[in-house]
Structure 1
Amino acid sequence: MFYFIYGDTPLPLKYEELMEKIKKSNPNIPVKIYDASQNEEESFLEGISINSMFVPKELLVLKRAEKTKKLDNLLKIVGEYDLGQKEVVVVYEEELNDYGKATNEVGKKVLTNAEKLGKVIVARKALEKKGIQFFIEKELEISEYEAEKLAEVLGDDFFKVKNEVEKIKNFLGGQTFILEKVLPILSISDEYNLKKLVEDFFISDNINQLLEHLKKTKEYMLFLYLVSEELNLALKLVGLKRVGDLKETISYNDFKGNVYEKVKKYFKNNRGFMREYPIFLKLKYIPLFSEEFLLKKIQNLLEVEFSVKNGGIEEGIGVEKFIIEFKRG
C-alpha cells in the first residue's frame, strides 16, 4: 500500500498515527527510513525495487519529500514498481510563514501522481479546525455558527476542546447553550484574547491593555497577522461603501439578504465564504477610517514586518511603535 501524507502543524502527529496503524496491521514489519534532505531518494527507489523472498513485507518511508526537486517524477517512478510486498509512506511538510500561509504548498502534479498510487492524507491546521468545529456542533447540539464561535474561543488543541466541551455540558445540565453564559467557566485561548483586544483597539484607540497583554505574552507576530486581517477587512468595507454597495446604517435583516449575496465574493478565507453576521459586526469600521488611512497603515505594517524579519528592529519595539503611532486619519 502507498501513502502520501502532507500538511503543516498537525503533520508529525498524523504521521505517527499512520506508522502505528501500519505496524499494528503488520506485526514485526522491518522499517527503512530515507531522508530527501540527505539526497537519499535513489536509495529509497532501490529499496522499493527489491523484493526479498525471506521478508514477506517491509515498510519504507521517505521523509522531507518537499526537498526533492522533481517529486512528481519520483512518484511516477514509484508507480513502475510492484508494491505488493511494500508499505510505502512519503511525507511532505509544508512550511508556514508568520501569517499561517504555506510557503511550499504541495503541487497539483504531485497530488495527482500520489492519488494514482494509493492513499493521500492531508494534515493541515485549517482542516483540523473544521474537525474541531464539527465535534463541538455535534456534542453540544448547537448551530454551525455557534460551534465556529466557540472553537474560536477555545483554540485548536483538540484535547483541550474536548475537556472544555465536557465542562460546558456539566455546567448547562441540559439548558440551552448561550456563549455569553458559558464564557466565564472556559479557558479562553490566547489568540482569542488578543483578537478581542485588537478589535477594541481599532474602535477605541485604547492602547494600554493591548500593550500590557503583548508585553506579557510576546505574541508580536500573531498581533501583526490579526491586525493585517482587520485592516484588509476594513479596507474592503470602506471601498464597498465608496462604490455604493454598502451602508454602515443597514439593518442585519437587510444585510444578510441580497446585500451580502452581492458582496460576499470579497470575503473569502481558507474555509470558504465568511458568514454574514461577523461581517455585519465589522460595519462599525466604515465611519472610523478612510481608504487612504487604511492603505497607509497596511504599508506601515509591512514595513514593521520587513524590519523585524531582517533584524532591523526588535519585534517588540516595532510592534509597540506601530500601536502608539496608530491614529485615525
Structure 2
Amino acid sequence: MFYFIYGDTPLPLKYEEVIDKIKKSNPNIPTKIYDASQGEEENFLESISINSMFVPKELIVFKRAEKSKRLDQLLKIVGEYDLAKKEIVVIYEEELNDYGKAINEVGKKVLTNAEKLGKIIVARKALERKGIDFFIEKELEISEYESEKLSEILGDDFFKVKNEVEKIKNFLNGKTFILEKVLPILSISDEYNLKKLVEDFMIEDNLEILLDYLKKSKEYMLFLYLISEELNMALKLVGLKKSGDLRENISYNDFKGNTYEKLKKYFKNSRGYIREYPIFLKLKYMSLFNEEFLLKKIEKLLMIEFLIKNGGIEESIGIEKFIIEFKRG
C-alpha cells in the first residue's frame, strides 16, 4: 500500500498513527527510512525496486518530501515498480506563514501522481478543527452551535477533547446537555480563563475580577497578548461596520455562511483562519467602541509593552494602570 501524507501542524501525529497501524498489522516488518533533505531520493527508489524473496513485506518511509526538487517525477517513477510487497509512506510537510497560509503547498501534479499510487491523507490544522467540532456534536448528540461553543472552551488538542467529552457523558448520564451545567467539571486552561475575563472586561468593563485574577496568577504578559488581540479584532469589526460590509445584528446562520466567506481574509492568525463562532460573539464590539478610542488604546498598549521590556516600568504596575484607566482614560 502507498500513503502520501501532507499537511501542517498535525502532520507528525498523523504519519505516526499510519506507521503504527502498518506495524501492528505487520509484526516485525523491516523498516527503511529515507530523507529528501539529505538527497536520498535515489536510495529510496532503489529500495522500492528490490523485492526480497525472504521478506513478505517491507515498510519504506520517505521523509521531508517537500525538499525533493522534482517530487512529481519521483512519484511517477515509483509507479513503474511492483509495490505489492511494500508499505510506502511519503511525508510532505507544509510550512505556514504568519497568516496560516502554506508557503510550500503541494502541487497539483504531485497530488495527481500520488493519487494514482494509493491513498492521500491530509493533516491540516483547519480540517482537524472541523473534525473536533463534528466529534463533539456526534458524541454528545448536540447541535452544531453548541458543539462550537464547547469546542472553543476545550481547545485544539483532540486527546484532551476526547477525555473531556467522556467526562461530560458520564456526568450527564443520559440527561440533556446544558453548557452552563457541565462547565464546573471541565479542565479549562489558564489561557481560556484569562481570555474570558478579558472579553468580559472589554464588554462590561468588569475590572475587579480581572485585576484580582492577574494579581494571583501573575499572567501579566499573557494578558498583554490577549488584550492586544481583542483590541485589534474590535478595530477590524468597527472598520467593517463603517464600510458597510458587516452589520452587528446579523444572525449566526447568516454570518457563518456567505458573509464570513467574504470577510474571512480579515480574520487570520498564526494558526490560520479564525473560526466563525468566536468572531460572531465579538460583533457587539461594533456598538461599544469607535476607531479613535481603539487606536489610542492600541498605541498605549504598545508603549506599555516597550517600557516593560526595557525595564522602564514594572509589568504589574503598567498593566494594572492600563486596566483601571481603560474606559476612563
Note whether the superposition's TM-score is higher than 0.5. Answer: yes
Pick the aligned partner of 1:208 from 207, 211, 225: 211
CA-to-partner distance for each residue in 1:91-129, whole Å, 9 max, x for gaps? Answer: 123345677655544344432332222111122333333
Note if contact 2:220-2:315 (Cα within 8 Å) is conserved in structure 1: no
Letter in 2 for 1:274: E
Pick the aligned partner of 2:263 from 256, 261, 266: 266
| Post-superposition offset of 1:89 | 0.8
Note if contact 1:304-1:319 (Cα within 8 Å) is conserved in structure 2: no
| Post-superposition offset of 1:178 | 1.2
| Post-superposition offset of 1:46 | 1.6
| Other-structure match for 2:62 | 62
CA change 1:104–1:196 in 2 (3 A) is: farther
Distance 2:303 2:68 in 1: 33
CA change 1:120–1:282 in 2 (3 A) is: same
Distance 1:260 1:56 in 2: 52
Distance 1:55 1:303 in 2: 67
CA-to-partner distance for each residue in 1:122-145, whole Å, 9 max, x for gaps? Answer: 223333332222222122211111
| Post-superposition offset of 1:32 | 0.9
2:26 is the alignment partner of 1:23: no
CA-to-partner distance for each residue in 1:228-284, whole Å, 9 max, x for gaps? Answer: 754454234212332345555x4xxx6457788674321477679725xx5553232
Q: Which has the higher contact order (CA 8 A, sep 6+)?
A: 2
| Other-structure match for 2:88 | 88
Distance 2:174 2:99 in 1: 39
CA change 1:104–1:230 in 2 (3 A) is: farther
Letter in 2 for 1:148: E
SS of the residue corresponding to residue 133 of structure 1 reads helix
Aligned length: 313
SS of the residue corresponding to residue 283 of structure 2 reads helix
Distance 1:162 1:65 in 2: 32
| Post-superposition offset of 1:214 | 7.5
| Post-superposition offset of 1:174 | 3.0
| Other-structure match for 2:286 | 286
SS of the residue corresponding to residue 240 of structure 1 reads helix
Letter in 1 for 2:87: E
Note if contact 2:235-2:294 (Cα within 8 Å) is conserved in structure 1: yes
1:1-329 aligned at under 5 Å gives the runs 1-96=1-96, 102-203=102-203, 204=205, 206=207, 208=211, 215-216=218-219, 224=225, 230-231=230-231, 233-244=233-244, 246=246, 248=248, 250=249, 255-256=251-252, 263-264=259-260, 265-267=262-264, 274-275=276-277, 278-291=278-291, 294=294
Note if contact 1:155-1:191 (Cα within 8 Å) is conserved in structure 2: no
Decide which moves more: 177-186 or 230-239: 230-239
Letter in 2 for 1:189: S
Note if contact 1:154-1:188 (Cα within 8 Å) is conserved in structure 2: yes
Distance 1:111 1:297 in 2: 47
Letter in 2 for 1:58: E
CA-to-partner distance for each residue in 1:197-256, whole Å, 9 max, x for gaps? Answer: 332343338473675588449758xx74x56754454234212332345555x4xxx645
CA change 1:7–1:300 in 2 (3 A) is: farther
| Post-superposition offset of 1:71 | 2.5
